[in-house]
Structure 1
Amino acid sequence: ILQVYHIFPALFGGASTVVYQITKELSGKGHKVDVLTTNARLRHGENRNLDGVSVYRFPVVSEKLANYNIVIPVVNFLLWVKDRIETYDCIHIHGHKNPYSMVVHHYAVKYDVPYVLQAHGSLPRIGSWKRLKRVYDVLFGYRLLRDAAKVIALSRVEAEQYTRMGVPEEKIAIIPNGIDLSEYAVLPSRGAFKKKFGIPEDEKIILYLGRIHRIKGIDFLVRAYAHLRNEMNCRDAVLVIAGPDDGYLKEVQELTAALGVWDSVMFTGFLSEKDKIVAYIDANVVVNVEPLNVYGLVPLEAAACGTPVIVSKGNAINDVVHDGKFGFSVKYGDINGLAETMCKMLVNYGLQREMGRNGRKFIFENYNWANIVTKLERVYEEVVEE
């Protein structure tokens, strides 16, 4: 089985974490799994082979473009695909709107190797480059979907997105993301994150964790936080924005200054897995209000740490949060509504504890990666047998 994604190993959650966990589980079950990837956003000191998985890594034409998710691999990438693709029983392409998927698609079709496509929320033409995304879909994107043996949707919301782009319902398999529960089985004590970043013990934390990108709804969160402090006089919580800059950090910083909350907003930058977990544990509430995300690992990880969440009603994870009773949802853009919901969570410690217990129990019962990958194996078997 060949897994194709431009970032490997995992980089701060998202699709790269999903690819890593899938390859790890498949390899552990005895499958021969290779990963075809690039050096995009590669952190120093990472190994070629991880968890028994062979990793084939190629440079990108421009690291600057790769930072904006425009990943153009070098010619050797194309030659490798041409020479090796016939040796695989099945290919799993992660991501829809990128040049490397086009290359793999071309040779998979040419040599009649079945592939599964998982868009990871990349189908909608949102954010920047809308016209370019439309051109891409007309020239390549629709063909990529048409020729896939199966497509993986993370939720009903994403399944509907596939359908609107012409994918027949019988080709769509809905398989949610899981999380690595072993990382959350025994949690560290509270206080480590506050101590490391100099946050007073008695100060509460509202946490955003993820890439600092325009589409993530961070401006909505910052405006609601400013309303919470300035209009509702709720001043005992710091807003922690944790994650790498994805082209939007400067604007967010300028917004915090313009709204008069600069001195109560903390930007931590990238967090290690260890620091990420202690951030979840020390947070009173995790806010993830991206408007159109088809799924999201952050609310699941927060729940696994026993921390309640607030999500957007437009976010597909909303159904999961309500099913598990571990948080609230608000209408995207409703600044007063988000501020009031954050205040409700911050002042009611009993509610925090109740939702925290609900979330941890729900995640451990429903989101084990081993069970998720078993569903994926059935999809692979189906496309190979066809």
Structure 2
Amino acid sequence: MKILHVTNFFKPSWEAGGIARVAYEISKNLVKEGHEVTVFTTDGFKSRLKIIKNKPVDVDGINTYYFRNLSNYLTKRNIVIPYYLPFIARRKIQDFDVIHIHEHRTLLAVIVHYYSKKYNIPYVLQAHGTLPNTIGKQKQKNIFDAIWGNEILKDASKLISVSDTEVDQYLQMKIPSEKIYTIPNGMDTNSFCKLPAKGTFRKKYNINENKIVLFLGRLHERKGIDFLIKAYADLIKEKNDVVLVLAGSDDGYQDKTELLIDKFNLKNNVIITGYIDTFDKLAAYVDCDVLVYPSILEIFGLVPFEAIMCGSPVIVTDDCGCGELIKKASCGCLVKYGDVTDLKNKMKLILENPDLGNKFVENGQKYITNNLTWPLICKKIEALYENCIYKT
């Protein structure tokens, strides 16, 4: 098949978040299966990529167009305007058998949707948890949906959800259930075969023998960082040998995070690392005693499963998508979002009972290996593409 992926950001713009990684892994695995894969993306997130713009570039066998953004200032604020895309889309869209659009509230999606309809090319839409408009820029999202977004969702041949949580979100957007297919994100388990030496992260950030509670992700209001800090503030009243590490780039919430840290007088107990690369991320997983994933409105997150592959137990909120699999595999603790006392108690439970944490990790690693590897996931996506083409 000739397949087009459409995503705001792509390798190597990993700081943009998990969508870039998912689009890359799907594309890479489809190439391995013998498909011809093209990607339409842009030239960077926080800074412009030093790469050929507006022309195809080979990225691990993937034919990739990095369209120059009109303004890097706007891109940093998630306003992505690849002004040259329409000229290429007009000529190239008709060459593809199927299109995979990542996120629907993007200008790339608007442009590709227009030409896919014009040339009758089926497309799969994967929202990646962006459907709700209840947090941040609600007015802008409502306007976008009224003009373009609802139409982009309605015209998709199939829509991928990664969890039951996201299925419900699609249904709330009036998407027929028969068009929704649940396929979780996959994992590259090979990347966990050789891990950083234990103590690497501790040494870099001058952490002594204290226990480490780790949060890893972008500093965004929906990530539940305020919830975690409140629970941690209660925890250290009972266990003062615990440090909290917040690892990830700022996504508009760091100032509020620092104010909250000051409010609870935690300046000497909390480390904010900023963006960390893949090596340091793995080192953080290896050295932490428990990873907490306290997100709200998170349809699926790989962070807990990455931590498990590195040997660390996890605590996640029960209404996020990955919580469904954590419960199914009996590989971690679940807490209700906002229940500060419960989160404090679960952190204390894991920190004081390493055998329980080890059992969770054992269960999780077995489940991941048997169900969440990228080759297994991409076989399901490949079948979905074929279904779209056959029914067109």
Query: Which TM-score tier does this pair reach, normalised by the shorter chain?
Result: over 0.9
Question: Once the 2 structures are TM-superposed, how far is the Cα of residue 64 of structure 1 from its aligned partner?
Answer: 2.7
The answer for the alignment partner of 1:347 in structure 2 is 352
Alignment match of 2:329 (pick from 321, 324, 333): 324
* Deviation by residue 1:248-301 (Cα, 9 ceiling, x = unmatched): 111111210111111111111111111111111111111111111111110111
State the shift of 1:50 in Å: 1.7
Give secondary structure in 2 for the equivalent of 1:176.
coil
Residues 1:124 and 2:132 are matched in the alignment: yes
TM-superposed CA distance for 1:188, in Å, is 3.5
The aligned counterpart of 1:275 is: 280
CA deviations 1:179-203 (Å, max 9, x no partner) are 1110012434311111122111x21
- The residue number in structure 1 matching 2:254 is 249
Other-structure match for 1:228:
235
Distance 2:179 2:136 in 1: 29
Which of 19, 37, 52 aligns to 2:61? It is 52
* Kept in 2: contact 1:291–1:313 (CA 8 A): no
If the length of structure 1 is used for normalisation, what is the TM-score?
0.95
Q: Please give the residue correspondences for 1:16-35 in structure 2 after superposition, counting only pairs within 5 Å.
A: 16-35=20-39
- Post-superposition CA distance 1:49-92 (Å, at most 9, x none): 22111110112223233223222221x11111111111111110
Alpha-carbon distance in 2 for matches of 1:45, 1:281: 32
2:42 paired with 1:38: yes
Question: What is the aligned counterpart of 1:185 among 190, 193, 213?
Answer: 193
Instruction: Note the C-alpha offset of 1:44.
Output: 5.2
Q: Secondary structure at the match of 2:299?
A: coil
2:236 aligned partner, one-letter code: R
What residue is the counterpart of 1:213 in the other structure? 220
State how far apart, in whole Å, the 2-side matches of 1:373 and 1:83 are.
28
| Alignment pair present for 1:296 and 2:301 | yes
Quote the residue 1:4 is aligned against.
Answer: 6
Partners of 2:350 and 2:178 lie apart in 1 by 42
**Is the Cα contact below 8 Å between 2:8 and 2:106 reproduced in 1?**
no
Query: For 1:43 and 1:186, how far apart are their aligned partners in 2?
Result: 31
Instruction: Give aligned-pair identity as a percent.
Output: 40
The 5-angstrom pairing of residues 41-190 of structure 1 reads 41=45, 48-74=57-83, 76-190=84-198
CA–CA distance in 2 between the matches of 1:67 and 1:132? 17
Structure 1 regions of 5+ residues with no counterpart? none
On the 8 A contact 1:303/1:363 being kept in 2, the answer is no
Q: Look up the equivalent residue of 1:11 and give its one-letter code.
A: W
Query: SS of the counterpart of 1:245?
Result: coil
Residue equivalent to 1:310 = 315
Number of matched pairs: 382
The answer on whether the counterparts of 1:219 and 1:252 sit within 8 Å (CA) in structure 2 is yes
Q: Identify the residue that residue 385 of structure 1 maps to in structure 2.
A: 390
| Cα distance in structure 2, aligned partners of 1:187 and 1:324 | 24
Contact 1:305–1:360, Cα closer than 8 Å, also in 2: no
3-state DSSP class of the match of 2:14? coil
8 Å Cα contact 1:285/1:346 also seen in 2: yes
**Closer, same or farther in 2 for the Cα pair 1:366/1:63, shift >3 Å?**
same
Please list every run of 5 or more consecutive structure 2 residues that lacks an aligned counterpart in the other structure. none
